[in-house]
Structure 1
């Protein structure tokens, strides 16, 4: 399939994990893909950006359009997580989490809107199941992802009449390098993997490529009547009730 032939996509945090899988999927379906993050990206045209800096989003969008002439797809995938309790998290950590997970997507979308109007473009945000529920000590992360889900709906409502769609995916446990490292450092990796399988009705965790497949569908023209939706990608985890 070449659903994105002659189209230009920007994927933030596209150097690794879910973002890398999304960037590869869009590229493999014909898109010219840019990624934006702190470090270098040897696989894609990369733009260095620190998304705690409120001036970075505008600069990134302008550079994409300057280099490619247009923007058709914006994927807000960059994110971070701080594991601290409500009482222990500092205001600096709280603000940094919100800056990267929520404020940067807002600023990127705002900067991209004039260009997406021209192309009848699409926005896909990477939310989280923790925007719907929460794990312990994820106060800032859960709040920021819930906010991103709300932003997704608001953008869809305000800009649908302009031909701009905005949706979000909410991944659960995905086999990224970061999560695999967490398992190996858990103290009992075998038990951790057993427990991960147990909480998923499908009997396993997900892959970045499975998330990327949904993102590509939502960004494509065949999803033209879908907007303002939050799609959970979690192998049924949020559906299964825990045992008493």
Structure 2
């Protein structure tokens, strides 16, 4: 199975790429940063629709098609609306929303042929994880020591679970969080 993973250079994306490979599947990584060289990859900025679309098409063609897409790329800009620069906020929307849509749209022709699956971090709600996602935030926006963040490798197993489901079974929503995390219901 060929699985395209956005954000595969770090965090949940990297953990998912590693979990995919442990299953004997092929991880195809798209990230703004250079990922581990063991993965077939393309460096692309998902805020740029053209780059996102080209990356998907090139990886799909190299691999002979796609069986799944996992959109794990994501950024944020913490703070009150009046304190977050408009360019920073717009980049969050470009990467997280429009970049995700561009990747899925570009993958659809391949996924239709394979009856493939899409797992997005909009439907998989991963909760807080021990990744660099929180680095560089002001203290009030960092998880506290009591947060009990998840290991991204554990969360990646929920992605594998969703990908293993039969073609006629859809997992519409998964919330994964540590039992002690205070920021999720």
Bigger RCO of structures 1 and 2 (CA < 8 A, at least 6 apart): 2
Q: Do the aligned partners of 2:41 and 2:59 also contact (CA within 8 Å) in 1? A: no
Q: Which one has the bigger helix percentage?
A: 1
Q: Do the aligned partners of 2:115 and 2:167 also contact (CA within 8 Å) in 1? A: no
Structure with higher Rg: it is 1
> Which blocks of at least 5 consecutive residues in structure 2 are unaligned?
none
Q: Distance in 1 between matches of 2:149 and 2:79?
A: 25
**TM-fit CA distance, 1:89:** 2.6
3-state DSSP of counterpart to 2:66: coil
**TM-fit CA distance, 1:115:** 0.8
Q: TM-score, normalised by structure 2?
A: 0.87
Superimposed CA distance per residue, residues 64-105 of structure 1 (whole angstroms, 9 cap, x where no aligned partner): 122011100101111111112111233322211100000011
Dislocated runs of 4+, deviation >4 Å: none
Alignment coverage as a number of residue pairs: 180
Q: Do the aligned partners of 1:75 and 1:124 also contact (CA within 8 Å) in 2? A: yes
**TM-fit CA distance, 1:178:** 4.3
Q: TM-score, normalised by structure 1?
A: 0.67
- What corresponds to 2:175 in structure 1? 232
Call closer, same or farther: CA 1:108–1:178 in 2, change over 3 Å: closer
- What corresponds to 1:192 in structure 2? 144
CA RMSD of aligned residues (A): 2.4
> Which blocks of at least 5 consecutive residues in structure 1 are unaligned?
1-6, 128-167, 197-203, 240-244
